[in-house]
Structure 1
Amino acid sequence: MNLEQIKSLVSVVNHKSFSLAAKEMFVSQPTISMHIKTLEKELGEQLLIRSTKDIVLSEAGLLFYPYAVQMLKAEEDAIQKIKNKGEKIAGDVMFASSSVPANYIFPGFLSYSKKKNPDIGYKISEGDSTEVLQKILHFEQEIGVGSIRSSSAKLFFEPLIKDEIVLITPNIKKYRDYKGNFDRNELKRENFVIREMGSGTKTAADNVERKLGLESDKIQVAAEVQTTETLKRVVAEGVGIGFVSSLAVKDYLEQKRVLVFEFPEIETKRQLYLFWHCERNLSKVGERAISMLKEYCSEM
């Protein structure tokens, strides 16, 4: 596998044409075909599906294409970094973030970033995970942070930090008497406070509920809210119980406003991702912000 083969694949996908790819790369069409065939042989998978009307990525191609784009970008970045060695990095970077990272990771990170590189500013828009994906797909923001991973070949995803879904209850005698162990049968008798559809936390909570033997369409819902912060407040007031991110509940736990229950017998962790559009060249400040955010999360 070499970069010329990778470039041929990306060019064919972008142009949906072998002949246009050949023109862009200043080589013959048979050369482009040879590059693709050699790449497919090495990977042991067909990457492109050809018809008389169109050229599309195969299932294997959809998996490989974002990495192909990243390989070319890495080459470009390496050249640029050498050229711009010692250049001051300054400016604004635009993030689209789902509610949990926006409220419980970014505040601390902004302080961390200010100490590391005070010349970088941040513009952060908040929405549910589905909205964040759409903003990156439509080039409205540069970098996304969320827990829902799209199958779109247009987006590149990179793991950022692991989160855990936990159950919170009001801090009252009934739940204190459980001494940290919430009986599954008792869960079915409870009233729940839940997040709205489209939320990454809602998706992760539904998954945990299924593993605990709860059917989401049969649980008793006391309230449906838009944000994790509202869910925490409603639970603390005694309206019901609810599943939330462990990152989000640290403050209420320290203030003894809620109790937290974990279920170690099942998998309750989820992955938060950094992601961006494959066809977008990240700005220098964006690349630096990503590097610092990963450093910050590794220290959390």
Structure 2
Amino acid sequence: MNFKKLEAFISVLEKRSFSEAAAALKSSQPAISIKIKSLEEELGIELLDRGRSGVHPTRAGILVYQTAKEIMGRWGQLEDDLLGFQDTLTGTLTIGASTIPGTYLIPGWIKKFRTLYPKVDVKIEINDSRKVLNNLIDHQIDVGIVGLHQQSAKMITKVVASDSLVLIVPVEHEIPQSSHLDFNLLKKYDLVLREEGSGTRKEMEEYLEINGSSLADFNSSISIGSSEAVISAVEAGLGISFISKLAAVPAVKANRVKMIETLKPYQRNFYFSTLSESENRPIIREFTNFLAKGQMSI
């Protein structure tokens, strides 16, 4: 099996275009077509439907794509692990992260980590918590840092940082900064939500439940895909929301929104996860030890 054929096949499917795949791989379109054709002949089955609507995988093509991604990922891991036998840690660490840790925590951690290991390249992929964990199980990333705790025999999961969920409202909002704010008072306002699969949304739902409420008690004005977008929606007057304090504080300092601090915040954790089978890979082991030593800060 020629890895170049697998690489070409993966790129064509992800780009949905032979020409874009060729550009990404710094090759020519005819060369990419030859590799795909050769792969189909080698496997004895058609992998792509080439129609007017674009390039789409056949059922066999979907299976080959999933397996090819795993093969290429494992090969990349092997290359990194072999580099670990050298005196200096090198290789690529791919981190999947949900929005809050990916935006407000991980960049600072990586700066410190690369001070210790300057030859390590780091890639950060931002997705919702559920997608990150699925990517980890599928070997698409090396570690995941999210706000959602998921029990799995395949993964090792540890608390890596803490945060709290706070209420934000428009700057000129009528909600009083009362020391005895009635939670039921909030139900008359529109609620801006994070998207399904978000750790922040799950924590919000748990917070509402603790206070005898649910999302059904509120009018949902909009569901949106990032904390920054939620802040912008609240700033524009679309409603109120519960978000990470890490995200809220800079927006409050910039006078974009107001934080209702008299409402008791809801404590939450962020979790570091990696596959049990991968924990002793040199690059993952060193990053895990780095976090465990408390060399990161919130």
TM-score (norm 1): 0.66
Does the 8 A contact of 1:112 with 1:296 survive in 2?
no
Q: What is the match of residue 144 of structure 2?
A: 144
Between the aligned partners of 1:287 and 1:180, the Cα distance in structure 2 is 47
Residues 53-82 of structure 1 show CA distances to partners (whole Å, capped at 9, x for unaligned) of xxxxxxxxxxxxxxxxxxxxxxxxxxx9xx
The letter of the residue matching 2:164 is E
Residues 231 and 282 of structure 1: CA distance in aligned 2, closer, same or farther (over 3 Å): farther
Q: List runs of 5+ in structure 2 lacking aligned partners.
A: 1-80
Q: What is the match of residue 90 of structure 1?
A: 90
Q: What is the match of residue 161 of structure 1?
A: 161
Residues 228 and 124 of structure 1: CA distance in aligned 2, closer, same or farther (over 3 Å): same
Q: What is the match of residue 174 of structure 2?
A: 174
Structure 1 residue 210: deviation in Å?
Answer: 1.3
Between the aligned partners of 1:113 and 1:291, the Cα distance in structure 2 is 11
Does the 8 A contact of 1:164 with 1:245 survive in 2?
yes
Does the 8 A contact of 1:159 with 1:272 survive in 2?
yes
Give the fraction of aligned pairs with identical amino acids, expressed as a percent.
23
Structure 1 residue 134: deviation in Å?
Answer: 0.6
Equivalent residues in 2 for 1:7-46 (5 A)?
Answer: none
Does the 8 A contact of 2:278 with 2:284 survive in 1?
no
The CA RMSD measured in Å over matched residues stands at 2.4
Structure 1 residue 166: deviation in Å?
Answer: 0.7
Residues 210-248 of structure 1 show CA distances to partners (whole Å, capped at 9, x for unaligned) of 122222123111111011110011111111100111112
Between the aligned partners of 1:235 and 1:173, the Cα distance in structure 2 is 10
Matched, 1:125 2:128: no
The letter of the residue matching 1:136 is L
The letter of the residue matching 1:219 is F
Between the aligned partners of 1:258 and 1:297, the Cα distance in structure 2 is 32
Equivalences, count: 216
Q: What is the match of residue 26 of structure 1?
A: none
Does the 8 A contact of 2:177 with 2:260 survive in 1?
no
Paired residue secondary structure (1:247):
helix
Q: What is the match of residue 252 of structure 1?
A: 251
Paired residue secondary structure (2:133):
helix
The letter of the residue matching 2:287 is A
Between the aligned partners of 1:281 and 1:165, the Cα distance in structure 2 is 31
Q: What is the match of residue 274 of structure 1?
A: 272
Residues 112 and 281 of structure 1: CA distance in aligned 2, closer, same or farther (over 3 Å): closer
Residues 135 and 173 of structure 1: CA distance in aligned 2, closer, same or farther (over 3 Å): closer
TM-score (norm 2): 0.66
Query: Of 288, 291, 298, which residue of structure 2 is paired with 1:290?
Result: 288
Q: What is the match of residue 10 of structure 2?
A: none
Does the 8 A contact of 1:181 with 1:261 survive in 2?
no
